[in-house]
């Protein structure tokens, strides 16, 4: 499963919108190939009839809080961290 | 004063033998003298810390009751929120991000009158084992300044080891509290998954992440657990009955406990480290603990499991850093697509990018079943293995890391760096409590740690076993460079 090449990496870059420099691409292809070779050993384990595990607390009761409306956090405090905002909203470049 | 435990310090403060202001000034002075060489802190809060100390002294003067951490400085890893302070995650992406609220863990420390001393350095977004991936600077090991303190909570470990702070908190996704604790010769505890609220911790691998304390004494770890553990309605993975009197349980003794040692995992360990490990095991035997040899066949898949599951979760969690809401947006971006791409290109370091890409790969169409689903199944089998082991053993004991601290810059290959976590990841995979405690120095005078883990919710048992061994070993755990007053 290690046919990992620059094309695969570029496809991933598009999927997660992480752009890499030329130099990073060279390095990541090599790194990820090695890591994939290493993690491929998982296929040795027989997992026939085993259910996937989603939470390590699946047998533990986790209480859920009451579904009651609360005062939201102050809008301006949140907007202060946005790189650009206007009229109480986050500003982004035109989408259409 | 640097050799006092947090428990002793808070008692002295409560009894009025020393003021919280004096304690705070003392540790701020140590920070001033030591931190330029160790570089554990990204920010310090001298004014706020002294103001809080004044307030505590005032309460004491008026005869009001004060909290369990009265006047004790605590350092906070910089991926945990303190309201209106920066939370950078040691990333350029969040260099200007101010937390809009405080983490539950931080709030509990403040409620018990602990003093927030500053924010500590880490690997970027807690991804790394050396603090070298921090976008700002590397932290240094207080025992040997040319070595790494470990990571990702390297700053929190180094701050406690060099006695700039008696206590700190970090986060542990695959060993990020325990590995630096081992490298720095301190205690570092990752509690049962769900025992300390993660509200206000910047998420990395949500099915793995856990906040936990660092301290120089087992009693201080118990004290911090008394403060931090407890149900939190703001964290949907918070266990209902998380609170317990950990401090009181320390004295219950360890006689007749059984510890399991997976000897076949130790084959490649350096002989001097094996000696330290065996010495610790012998001390347990002397205390009446039964030692049995165990086999955990699936543990060899820990690293593949982690680097599929945790990285898949990380790539999902970090998708929120897209240039829209949080701090960073590239100034050269003209279109929305460019906002995403350039902001991430400029904001993330290499290790973070590598993990997002790998996580995206294992979750992408055509690979999800072979990697992600497969790993979730093996994770279940590993957990079942541990359930079987804990039917007959009270604890599993291993070295924390296969080596002592390495030189900064010595490990360049990412896979080799990932192997640092070979003994620690299983506890995150299975949600188990696990501590690293110092058991001596190797031939190069570098600390080496022992890891004790137990079944879910058996945190008190882990603490009891570590306190018993600490008493037996009676080690001097302060790095010689900083074992002096700086006043």
Query: Is B371 within a domain?
Result: no
Please check the confidence at residue B317 and state whether its pLDDT lies above 60: yes
B:83-112 residues touching chain A, CB 8 A cutoff = 96-98, 100-101
**Among B236, B378, B430, beta carbon nearest to A56:** B430
The pTM assigned to this predicted structure is 0.97
* Chain B interface disruption, residue of A39, A49, A63, A92, most B CBs within 10 A: A39
For residue B151, which phi and psi values (nearest 5 degrees)? -170, 170
Cβ–Cβ below 8 Å for A42 and B342: no
Chain A positions in Cβ-Cβ contact with residue B323 (cut-off 8 Å): 83
Evaluate whether residue B341 is within a structural domain. Answer: no
Question: Would residue B325 count as lying in a domain?
Answer: no
| Number of residues that this document lists for chain B | 487
**Helical spans, DSSP H, in B2-100:** 6-14, 20-38, 46-61
Positive or negative: CA dihedral B309, B313, B318, B322: positive
Residue B213 DSSP code: E
Q: Is the peptide bond before B152 cis (omega within 30 degrees of 0)?
A: yes
> Which residues of chain B neighbour A6 with C-beta distances below 8 Å?
none
A81/B236 CB distance under 8 A: no
**What would the mean pLDDT of B377-406 be, rounded to a whole number?**
97
Q: Is B206 inside any structural domain?
A: yes
Q: B451 and B212 in contact (C-beta within 8 Å)?
A: no
- How far is Cα B71 from Cα A85, in angstroms, rounded to an integer? 41
Structural tokens at position B91? 């990333």
ipTM: 0.95
Residue B397, pLDDT > 80, answer: yes
Closest-CA distance of chain A to residue B270, Å: 24
Cis peptide before B82 (omega within 30 of 0): no
B173 lies in which domain range? Answer: 6-267+270-295+385-482
Is the Cβ of A96 closer than 8 Å to some Cβ of chain B? no
Domain-located, residue B248 = yes
pLDDT at residue B321, as a whole number: 97
Each residue's pLDDT tens digit, B73-84: 999 999 999 999
Q: In sequence order, what E strands does B240-394 have?
A: 258-261, 290-293
Q: How many domains does chain B have?
A: 1
Q: What is the pLDDT averaged over residues B188-210?
A: 98
Average pLDDT over residues B109-116: 98
Task: Confirm if B456 and B433 have CB atoms less than 8 A apart.
Answer: yes
Q: Which two tokens stand for residue B278?
A: 């065996």
In angstroms, the CA A89 to CA B4 distance is 51
Let me know if residue B360 belongs to a domain: no
Chain segment A32-91, per-residue pLDDT in tens: 999 999 999 999 999 999 999 999 999 898 998 889 999 999 999 999 999 999 999 999
CA distance B115 to B74: 6
Q: Which of A19, A27, A52 sits opposite B344 (nearest CB)?
A: A19
Confirm whether B303 is domain-assigned.
no
**Helix H or strand E encompassing B356:** helix B350-363
Res. B429: pLDDT tops 80: yes
Taking the C-alpha atoms of residue B114 and residue B106, their distance in angstroms, rounded to an integer, is 9
Task: Report whether A8 contacts B361 (CB < 8 A).
Answer: yes
CATH number at residue B428: 3.90.1300.10
Closest approach of chain A CAs to the CA of B10, in angstroms?
34
d(CA B85, CA B117): 12
B31-68, pLDDT tens digit by residue? 999 999 999 999 999 999 999 999 999 999 999 999 99
Report yes or no on B247 lying in a domain: yes
Tokens of B406: 């390495």
Using CA atoms, how far apart are residues B172 and B126, in angstroms rounded to an integer?
8
| Res. B129: pLDDT tops 70 | yes
Q: Does residue A2 surpass a pLDDT of 90?
A: no
């Amino acid at each position: 499963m290690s046919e990992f090449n620059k094309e695969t990496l570029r496809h991933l870059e598009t999927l997660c919108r992480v752009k890499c420099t030329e130099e990073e691409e060279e390095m990541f292809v090599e790194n990820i190939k090695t890591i994939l070779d290493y993690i491929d050993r998982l296929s040795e384990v027989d997992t026939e009839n085993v259910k996937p595990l989603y939470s390590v607390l699946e047998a533990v009761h986790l209480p859920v809080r009451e579904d009651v409306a609360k005062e939201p956090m102050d809008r301006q405090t949140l907007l202060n961290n946005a790189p650009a905002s206007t009229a109480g909203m986050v500003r982004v470049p035109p989408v259409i | 004063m640097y050799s006092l435990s947090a428990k002793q310090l808070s008692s002295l403060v409560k009894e009025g033998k020393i003021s919280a202001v004096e304690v705070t000034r003392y540790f701020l002075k140590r920070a001033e003298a030591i931190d330029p060489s160790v570089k554990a802190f990204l920010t310090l809060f001298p004014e706020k810390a002294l103001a809080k100390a004044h307030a505590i002294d005032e309460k004491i003067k008026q005869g009001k009751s004060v909290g369990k951490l009265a006047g004790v400085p605590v350092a906070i890893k910089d991926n945990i929120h303190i309201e209106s302070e920066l939370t950078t995650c040691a990333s350029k992406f969040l260099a200007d991000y101010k937390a809009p609220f405080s983490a539950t863990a931080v709030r509990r420390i403040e409620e018990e009158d602990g003093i927030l001393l500053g924010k500590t350095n880490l690997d970027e977004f807690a991804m790394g084992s050396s603090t070298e991936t921090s976008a700002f600077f590397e932290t240094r090991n207080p025992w040997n300044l040319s070595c790494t303190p470990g990571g990702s909570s390297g700053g929190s470990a180094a701050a406690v080891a060099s006695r700039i702070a008696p206590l700190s908190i970090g986060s542990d996704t695959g060993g990020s509290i325990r590995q630096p604790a081992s490298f720095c010769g301190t205690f570092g505890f990752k509690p049962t998954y769900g025992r300390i609220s993660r509200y206000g911790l910047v998420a990395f691998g949500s099915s793995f992440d856990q906040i936990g304390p660092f301290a120089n004494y087992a009693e201080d770890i118990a004290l911090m657990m008394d403060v931090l553990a407890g149900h939190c309605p703001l964290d949907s993975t918070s266990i209902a009955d998380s609170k317990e009197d950990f401090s009181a349980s320390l004295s219950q003794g360890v006689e007749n406990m059984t510890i399991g040692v997976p000897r076949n995992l130790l084959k490649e360990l350096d002989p001097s480290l094996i000696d330290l490990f065996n010495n610790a095991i012998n001390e347990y035997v002397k205390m009446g603990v039964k030692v049995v040899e165990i086999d955990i066949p699936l543990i060899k898949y820990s690293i593949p499991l982690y680097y599929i599951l945790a990285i898949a979760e990380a790539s999902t969690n970090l998708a929120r850093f897209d240039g829209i809401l949080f701090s960073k947006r590239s100034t050269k971006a003209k279109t929305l697509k460019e906002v995403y791409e350039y902001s991430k290109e400029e904001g993330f370091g290499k290790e973070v990018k590598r993990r997002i890409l790998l996580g995206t790969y294992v979750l992408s169409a055509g690979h999800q079943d072979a990697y992600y689903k497969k790993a979730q199944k093996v994770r279940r089998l590993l957990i079942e293995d541990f359930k079987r082991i804990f039917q007959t053993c009270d604890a599993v004991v291993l070295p924390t890391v296969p080596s002592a601290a390495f030189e900064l810059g010595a490990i360049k290959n990412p896979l080799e760096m990932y192997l640092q976590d070979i003994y620690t990841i299983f506890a995150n995979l299975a949600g188990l409590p696990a501590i690293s405690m110092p058991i001596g120095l190797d031939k190069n005078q570098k600390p080496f740690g022992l890891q004790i883990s137990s079944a879910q919710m058996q945190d008190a048992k882990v603490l009891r076993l570590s306190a018993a061994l600490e008493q037996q070993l009676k080690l001097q755990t302060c790095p010689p460079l900083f074992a002096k007053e700086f006043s």
